[in-house]
């Protein structure tokens, strides 16, 4: 590979923002981490973290960190207001029954906002993401444009948004699919 990313967390999408009736913003350089294991929920609660009540839910905790439960044993933390740090040895200090997930370097993070975001996503995803079927706090592990993804509906800075997490290797393709689908909704913008 002739070009190397400057740091392990640099986004292949360069942090771009696409404004319009439906906006798409690259949050890949924002901080996120996770844990998985049979003791993950108990260990995180013992550390004082409030967790979603069930899998496939996302909540916001004080400090605006989002906590997403992908199963009863897997939790992702997304911090939209903090840039990703340089990796440290602290990430390795995990107890037996719980181990770290390196979602910072494995997944790109896109945030989609706008009144017609559900209609746009209907062009790409077989899951009904309309507000009646997919409420704030819901998470879907699904496909978008034939790639695996995680879609979460939550509030960010007072707006109803979708977080879309895709494998880093599909980041550019995912962005292109979103931009193509959104073109119909942004012609008059």
Q: What is the mean pLDDT of each run of 10 residues along the chain (189 residues)?
A: 46 88 95 94 94 98 96 97 70 72 92 97 96 98 97 96 97 96 78
Instruction: Report how far residue 137's alpha carbon sits from residue 60's, in angstroms, rounded to the nearest whole number.
Output: 9
pLDDT at res. 28 = 94
pLDDT at res. 97 = 85
Structural domains present in the chain: 17-183 (3.30.1360.120)
pLDDT at res. 36 = 94
Please choose, from the candidates 68, 83, 84, the residue with its C-alpha nearest in 3D space to the C-alpha of residue 35: 68
pLDDT at res. 112 = 98
Please tell me the pTM assigned to this model.
Answer: 0.90
pLDDT at res. 6 = 44
Instruction: Report how far residue 135's alpha carbon sits from residue 129's, in angstroms, rounded to the nearest whole number.
Output: 8
């Amino acid at each position: 590979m002739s070009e190397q990313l400057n740091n392990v967390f640099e986004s292949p999408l360069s942090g771009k923002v696409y404004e319009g009736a439906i906006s798409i913003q690259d949050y890949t350089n924002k901080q996120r981490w996770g844990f998985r294991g049979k003791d993950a929920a108990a260990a995180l609660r013992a550390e004082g973290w409030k967790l979603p009540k069930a899998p496939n839910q996302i909540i916001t905790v004080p400090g605006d960190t989002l906590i997403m439960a992908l199963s009863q044993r897997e939790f992702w933390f997304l911090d939209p207001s903090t840039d990703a740090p340089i990796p440290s040895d602290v990430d390795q200090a995990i107890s037996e029954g719980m181990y770290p997930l390196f979602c910072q370097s494995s997944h790109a993070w896109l945030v989609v906002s706008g009144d017609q975001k559900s209609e746009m996503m209907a062009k790409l995803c077989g899951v009904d993401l309309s507000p009646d079927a997919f409420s704030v706090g819901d998470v879907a592990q699904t496909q978008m444009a034939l790639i695996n993804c995680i879609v979460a509906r939550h509030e960010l800075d007072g707006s109803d948004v979708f977080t879309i997490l895709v494998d880093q290797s599909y980041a550019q393709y995912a962005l292109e699919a979103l931009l193509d689908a959104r073109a119909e909704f942004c012609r008059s913008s």
